[in-house]
Amino acid sequence: MRIEELANELADAYRRAAHGDKVVSIYLFGIRNAANIAGSSPYEIAVRAGLPRSYGTEIAKAIRLAEHVTLR
């Protein structure tokens, strides 16, 4: 998946998330797309999605969590 596609998906997930669930949407994005994000910069994805660069840290955390969780 290209970085622009990932950024668009993240932006959509963030925009659709209810107030109070915005950061949760970032974690879920990172967990769902961990394999696709590999080799890309989570910080660049966040910026291209129109989010603060610091959210790249949350994406990186989610990538690490992905190998330990199963989504319902």
Per DSSP, the three-state class of 71 is coil
Instruction: Give the pLDDT of residue 4.
Output: 95
pLDDT, position 41: 96
Q: How far apart are CA 53 and CA 46, in angstroms?
A: 6
Record the pTM. Answer: 0.93
Domain extent listing, the chain = 3-66
Report helix, strand or coil for 60.
helix
Residue 1 has a pLDDT of 74
In order along the chain (72 residues), what is the average pLDDT of each group of 10 residues? 94 97 97 94 97 97 95 88
Can you give the pLDDT at residue 61?
97
* DSSP of 5-50: HHHHHHHHHHHHSPTT-HHHHHHHHHHHTHHHHTTS-HHHHHHHTT
